[in-house]
Structure 1
Amino acid sequence: MSDNIDDLRNMLITFRVSELQMLLGFAGRNKSGRKNELQQRALELLHVRSHPIHQKIRELYKTIQQSGALNNSQATGNSDLSDSSVNSNMPQQQGVPRATATVHPYNVDTRMTSRQAAMYNQNIYQQYQHYQKPQQNVLNNYPVHPDVKFKRLPFFDVIADLLKPSSLVPQNNQRLQEATFYFHLTPQQATDVATSRDIRPGSKCEYIKQVQLRFCLLETTCEQEDYFPPNVVVKVNSKLCPLPNPIPTNKPGVEPKRPPRPVNITPMVKLSPTVANAIHVSWAADYGRGYAITVALVHKRNSNDLLQRLKSRGVKHSDHTRGLIKEKLNEDADGEIATTCLRVSLMCPLGKMRMSTPCRSITCQHLQCFDASLFLQMNERKPTWNCPVCDKPALYDNLVIDGYFQDVLGSSNAETSEIQLHKDGSWSTQVTEKKTVARVEKVPDDSIEIISDDIEVVSSATTNNNQVESSSTEKPKEDSTAAAPAKEKDVVDLTISDSDDDEPLAKRRALNPKPDSTIKFSGNSADVR
Structure 2
Amino acid sequence: MLSQQVAYRLQTDSNLRVMVYCAGDSGLTQYTKSDIAFPHQVELKVNLDEVKANLRGLKNRPGTTQPADVTNWIRKKPNYPNNIVMTYALTQKKFFALANLVKQHPTDDLVSQLKTRKLISKEQVLREMQNRANDSDIVATSSVMSLKCPLSTLRIQVPCRSIVCAHNQCFDASSFLELQKQAPTWTCPVCSKATSFESLQVDQYVDDILKSTSPEIEQVTVEPDGVWSSRTDSDATKLGGMTPASDDDDDLIEISEPGMPVVKQEPGPTNVALERTPAQSQSREASTPSSAMRMSSKKRPIAQVIDLTESGDEDEESPVPPPKRPASSLPSRAFSRQDYHMPPASSPLNGGSYPP
CA distance in 2, matches of 1:502, 1:344: 62
Instruction: Give CA deviations for 1:231-285 in whole Å, capped at 9, x if unaligned.
Output: 2222333433333164696xxxx9x999611212223323343343333222247
Structure 2 residue aligned with 1:303, among 107, 111, 128? 107
CA distance in 1, matches of 2:34, 2:102: 18
Name the CA shift for 1:370/1:280 in 2 (closer, same or farther; >3 Å).
Answer: same
Matches within 5 A, 1:393-472: 393-429=194-230, 440-445=244-249, 448-453=250-255, 457-458=263-264
| Structure number with larger C-alpha Rg | 1
Specify the SS of the correspondent of 1:356.
coil
RMSD over aligned Cα atoms: 4.4
Q: Are 1:316 and 1:403, in contact at CA under 8 Å, matched by a contact in 2?
A: yes
CA distance in 2, matches of 1:374, 1:248: 22
Name the CA shift for 1:187/1:421 in 2 (closer, same or farther; >3 Å).
Answer: same
Question: 1:188 aligned to 2:13?
Answer: no
Q: Are 1:358 and 1:370, in contact at CA under 8 Å, matched by a contact in 2?
A: yes
Match of residue 313 from structure 2? none
CA distance in 2, matches of 1:502, 1:427: 64
Match of residue 369 from structure 1? 170
CA distance in 2, matches of 1:349, 1:236: 40
Matches within 5 A, 1:54-453: 184-196=1-13, 207-218=14-25, 219-220=28-29, 222-244=32-54, 246=56, 260-284=65-89, 286=91, 290-313=94-117, 315-331=119-135, 334-335=136-137, 338-429=139-230, 440-445=244-249, 448-453=250-255
CA distance in 1, matches of 2:84, 2:19: 12
Specify the SS of the correspondent of 2:284.
coil
Q: Are 1:329 and 1:341, in contact at CA under 8 Å, matched by a contact in 2?
A: no
Instruction: Give CA deviations for 1:422-451 in whole Å, capped at 9, x if unaligned.
Output: 333322336898998996533354xx3113
**1:367, CA displacement in angstroms?**
0.8
CA distance in 2, matches of 1:499, 1:192: 99
Name the CA shift for 1:281/1:364 in 2 (closer, same or farther; >3 Å).
Answer: same
Name the aligned partner's letter for residue 154 of structure 2: M
CA distance in 2, matches of 1:248, 1:357: 30
Structure 2 residue ranges without an equivalent (≥5): 267-279, 289-321, 328-335, 342-356
Instruction: Give CA deviations for 1:444-475 in whole Å, capped at 9, x if unaligned.
Output: 54xx311335897429x9xxxxxxxxxxxxxx
Name the aligned partner's letter for residue 219 of structure 2: E
Instruction: Give CA deviations for 1:97-128 in whole Å, capped at 9, x if unaligned.
Output: xxxxxxxxxxxxxxxxxxxxxxxxxxxxxxxx
Name the aligned partner's letter for residue 104 of structure 2: K
CA distance in 2, matches of 1:194, 1:437: 63
Structure 1 residue aligned with 2:285, among 500, 505, 517? 500
Name the aligned partner's letter for residue 281 of structure 1: M
Specify the SS of the correspondent of 2:41.
coil
Name the aligned partner's letter for residue 197 of structure 2: Y
CA distance in 2, matches of 1:456, 1:302: 82
Q: Are 1:212 and 1:263, in contact at CA under 8 Å, matched by a contact in 2?
A: yes
Match of residue 354 from structure 2? none
Specify the SS of the correspondent of 2:285.
coil
Residue identity over aligned pairs, in percent, reads: 27
| Higher percent of residues as helix | 1
Name the CA shift for 1:222/1:291 in 2 (closer, same or farther; >3 Å).
Answer: same
Specify the SS of the correspondent of 1:224.
coil
CA distance in 2, matches of 1:248, 1:349: 23
Structure 1 residue ranges without an equivalent (≥5): 1-183, 197-206, 462-494, 513-521
CA distance in 1, matches of 2:339, 2:178: 85
Specify the SS of the correspondent of 2:40.
coil
CA distance in 2, matches of 1:258, 1:340: 40
Taking structure 1 as the reference length, the TM-score comes to 0.44
Name the CA shift for 1:444/1:380 in 2 (closer, same or farther; >3 Å).
Answer: farther
Specify the SS of the correspondent of 1:297.
strand
Higher relative contact order by CA 8 Å / sep ≥ 6: 1 or 2?
Answer: 2
Between Structure 1 and Structure 2, how many residues are aligned?
Answer: 278
Q: Are 1:246 and 1:257, in contact at CA under 8 Å, matched by a contact in 2?
A: no
CA distance in 1, matches of 2:157, 2:48: 49
